[in-house]
Structure 1
Amino acid sequence: MKKRIAFATCVQLGLSCIEEIYRIGGELDLLITLNDEKSKNKSGRIYLDEIAEREDAYLLKINNINDSEVIKALKNHKIDWLFIIGWSQIAKKELLDTPNKGCIGMHPTLLPIGRGRAAIPWAIIKGLDRTGVSMFKLDEGVDTGDIIGQGVIEINDTITATELYKKVDDMHIELISKYWEDIVNEKIELSKQDDSNATEWPGRKPEDGELLSSHTMDEADKLVRAVTHPYPGAFYKKPDEVYRIWSATVDKNQGEIKLSDGYLTPVDYEIEG
């Protein structure tokens, strides 16, 4: 019997997965996204109107993934699996239990490492030499569900958030392509996460991108690379203006912004009043 599948997203990572599903001949019975005016400034925010029209898919726009209208739509469309990708709201038990088979998510770390928020910036700030993407069955915890599959992404010491986001996006596509047939044919094999190895990364706010004179060159360099596009960017406050910095160089002996052990010079930047 054909599996009926829904997909909820409001960011590029999710749209890339949807595009790949249709590219490989898959079908989606219901698309879910945020209302147009909600989270307009969310990093990577996208809209599903065009692909829904192109593929003649039913599109539901909502304020919260746990809304009663979502539950009703999943039941009306007799959904077996619901993908929730790049969605900041936590799915509650009623929603998780509504699709016949459950809900599937993806997280841009090698779970159980890096549960939580801001996975791409943290991977750079923490100086990791590798990260990845995990596809997993959602449960009531935060990124705690059983693993369907993972893909590894190597990181070097010059990578930017822009570059890592692209690698994460590509890995989402790769995992969707690899496991789609197993999902629709009920052949997935689930693996428990090892909670003894779990780490949790906190959320980040735009103000966390402030460069301080107490930062080392290494810390400042990582911060600039970690919060550049598609994120809000690093910034340095002067008495009457703010430098919004998208890329920079560091040097022990000279530069524009004094750090604890050297200097930082903005390369791509904007001056804000």
Structure 2
Amino acid sequence: MKFIFMGTPEFAVPMLEKLNTLGDVDLVVSQEDKRKGRGKKLKETPVKIKAKELALEVFQPENVNSKESVEKLKSHEPDIIVVVAYGQLLTEEILQIPKRYIINIHASLLPKLRGAAPINRSIIEGFDKTGVSLMKVEKGLDTGAVSHVKEIEIDGMNAGELEDKLAILGSNLLEEFIKEAEVKEIEFIPQDDSQMTYAEKINKETLNLDFNKNSKEVVNLIRGLSPKYGARFYYKDMLYKIYDACAIENKDDVEAGTILKAKDELVIKTLDGAISVKEVQAPGKRAMAISDFLRGNSFEEGYKLGGK
């Protein structure tokens, strides 16, 4: 079969690699390259980098739904279009292009966590398990009927670790789908919209730690934002980020956000206990294990952390 693959971030790369072993990837569509970092250098998307390694044609339209882009996609006459975290909504005209299916692999157990940040939100919201769902693409946001699902226990992973696991799971799911599609028509089951939840995009407000929550919620936020973002707090008007922490018991009668220990370890009071910080980043510095950090930096015990 002939495929078009549409994807952009690192999460989509294993699925492009897998698809390339299952048939003819005739075209790879990715978002435009962006300028990033202090030098604002133009950085290619992870999917584009992998497509070039595989000697596949890459197409990066500003607007994939433009007349010129649609004609480009049509000219390849794909049997199946596979979409993985591409980043643009598709019009009905594109949905009608493939001879058989246009499918999407989404990193949640649909209809739970539709939307932009399902991996982060599954951890932040305290889910025990998540997974990947393979669905038909339609006009709505992650609303299409589902054919294949795989589950995974979250089991203490941070967002980066979980993303890696889900990318491999998604690759296996895609392989199952393609092999079945080679021999039969695929059955898709409509989602139960009454069970739908939405995974809101990670924004600046999401990054701020609130120590007036219980320890589990605080640790979930830290894990759900690591390693890409870091959960933020201010100490004496300076912004710090935490990338790893664990919940510990503590019954001290002090306000949430109070630094309880800062010599050999960093312990911060929460609503129902405390957290022990394992990895932290100071302004303008790299993230460090807390033991290394405290050798050259210090916090004041008894200091109450707050917002800025």
TM-score range, shorter chain: 0.7 to 0.9
Q: Would the alpha carbon gap of residues 185 and 62 (structure 1) be closer, same or farther in structure 2, given more than 3 Å must change?
A: farther
Match of 1:89 in 2: 88
| Residue 39 of structure 1, CA deviation | 7.9
**Percent identity (aligned):** 27
What secondary structure, in the 3-state scheme, does the structure 1 residue paired with 2:164 have?
A: helix
Match of 1:36 in 2: 33
Match of 1:199 in 2: 197
Match of 1:239 in 2: 236
What secondary structure, in the 3-state scheme, does the structure 2 residue paired with 1:212 have?
A: coil
Contact 1:150 1:175 in 2 (8 A): yes
What secondary structure, in the 3-state scheme, does the structure 2 residue paired with 1:268 have?
A: strand
Matches within 5 A, 1:130-209: 130-156=129-155, 158-185=156-183, 187-209=185-207
Take 2:88 and 2:36, find their aligned partners in 1: how far apart are those partners?
12
Q: Would the alpha carbon gap of residues 212 and 5 (structure 1) be closer, same or farther in structure 2, given more than 3 Å must change?
A: same
Q: Would the alpha carbon gap of residues 49 and 225 (structure 1) be closer, same or farther in structure 2, given more than 3 Å must change?
A: closer
| Residue 178 of structure 1, CA deviation | 1.2
* Residue deviations 1:190-237 (CA, integer Å, cap 9, x gap): 2222223222232221431211232221111111011102x3111111
Match of 1:5 in 2: 3
Q: Would the alpha carbon gap of residues 220 and 49 (structure 1) be closer, same or farther in structure 2, given more than 3 Å must change?
A: closer
Match of 2:215 in 1: 217
Letter in structure 2 aligned against 1:27: D
* Residue deviations 1:123-172 (CA, integer Å, cap 9, x gap): 1122212111000110111111111211011122x221122112211111
Q: Would the alpha carbon gap of residues 250 and 65 (structure 1) be closer, same or farther in structure 2, given more than 3 Å must change?
A: same
Take 2:63 and 2:184, find their aligned partners in 1: how far apart are those partners?
29
* Residue deviations 1:91-110 (CA, integer Å, cap 9, x gap): 22222223333421011111
Letter in structure 2 aligned against 1:193: Q
What secondary structure, in the 3-state scheme, does the structure 1 residue paired with 2:33 have?
A: coil
Take 1:271 and 1:53, find their aligned partners in 2: how far apart are those partners?
37
Take 2:35 and 2:83, find their aligned partners in 1: how far apart are those partners?
17
Contact 1:16 1:169 in 2 (8 A): yes
Take 2:200 and 2:163, find their aligned partners in 1: how far apart are those partners?
18
Match of 2:102 in 1: 103
Take 2:31 and 2:193, find their aligned partners in 1: how far apart are those partners?
32
| Residue 184 of structure 1, CA deviation | 4.5
Take 2:119 and 2:92, find their aligned partners in 1: how far apart are those partners?
27
**Higher RCO (CA-CA < 8 Å; seq separation 6+):** 1
What secondary structure, in the 3-state scheme, does the structure 1 residue paired with 2:5 have?
A: strand
Counterpart pick for 1:270 among 281, 284, 290: 281
Contact 1:147 1:191 in 2 (8 A): yes
- Single out whichever of 261-270 and 172-181 deviates more from structure 2: 261-270
Match of 2:306 in 1: none
Q: Would the alpha carbon gap of residues 94 and 191 (structure 1) be closer, same or farther in structure 2, given more than 3 Å must change?
A: same
Q: Does 1:16 align with 2:27?
A: no
Take 1:181 and 1:219, find their aligned partners in 2: how far apart are those partners?
41
| Residue 31 of structure 1, CA deviation | 0.6
- Single out whichever of 234-243 and 175-184 deviates more from structure 2: 175-184
Q: Would the alpha carbon gap of residues 244 and 250 (structure 1) be closer, same or farther in structure 2, given more than 3 Å must change?
A: same
Letter in structure 2 aligned against 1:267: K
For normalisation by structure 2, the TM-score amounts to 0.78
Q: Would the alpha carbon gap of residues 186 and 76 (structure 1) be closer, same or farther in structure 2, given more than 3 Å must change?
A: farther
Contact 1:4 1:79 in 2 (8 A): yes
Q: How many residues align?
A: 265
What 5-or-longer segments of structure 2 have no aligned partner?
251-259, 262-266, 285-308
Contact 2:243 2:279 in 1 (8 A): yes
